[in-house]
A = this chain, B = another copy of it.
Amino acid sequence: MANVKLSIIYYSSTGTNYQMALWAKEKAEQSGAEVRLRKAKELAPEFAIEQNPAWKKHYDETQHVEEASSDDILWADALLFSAPSRFGTMPSQLKQFLDIQGGLWANGKTVNKVVSAMTSAQNPHGGQEATLLSLYTSMMHWGTIIVTPGYTDPVLFGAGGNPYGTSVTVDQNGNMQEDVEDAVKHQVARVLEVASKTLES
């Protein structure tokens, strides 16, 4: 899988999806993939961020992470998205990033990318399935190849058994309620495996 180029594109306000993205990056690099970790541009005004200490802290701590650009899609063989649920669909920050890729899309530059996604929510059934399904709907418009975990490894059962992608419940204090690190790593390994096959001539 040394030849797979993976862009991990996430949005995180208080760090959960950033952590999931980091786990994915670690595993992907261990597997020999070339990895870009990118954050979706924040849309919230500074004063809104300031009012939420956890958000402000994470916002400051991830200033060094590059913002996602069209080139991160163009360059990649595979895309892994990670973003929290906002009322059962992806947050506007990530949606905005997708929406402005009309140029790439119109020129067929999104076709055949291998795609997978992860998410989080405050309640076990608070959009952890719906958010991923909605994101894959958009990815079907892009002509991508969608690879979800299904039930391809026993590790998934311990992580809530989400066949659409790894997801985690986060409490009011931002603490993950399940240990999903291994599920994240299995998901990214699976994505790389399929992507690697699609690259072979």
Contacts and interface: CB of A to CB of B under 8 A. Distances in A.
Nearest to A106: B151
Interface string A115-150: 000000011111111100110111011111111111
A86 interface: yes
Given A136-B136, A194-B112, A198-B198, A125 B167 contact: yes
Contact of A133 (B43, B126, B130, B149): B130
B200 A160 contact: no
Given A197-B197, A198-B197, A150 B161 contact: no
Interface stretch (A15-23, A30-38, A95-103): A95-103
B160 A150 contact: no
Given A87-B141, A124-B161, 7 more contacts: A89-B95, A124-B125, A125-B160, A127-B129, A127-B141, A133-B133, A143-B151
27 contacts: A43-B43, A86-B98, A87-B98, A87-B138, A89-B95, A91-B95, A91-B99, A92-B93, A95-B95, A105-B151, A123-B161, A124-B125, A127-B137, A127-B163, A129-B130, A130-B133, A130-B137, A133-B137, A134-B137, A140-B164, A141-B150, A143-B152, A144-B150, A145-B145, A145-B147, A146-B147, A198-B198
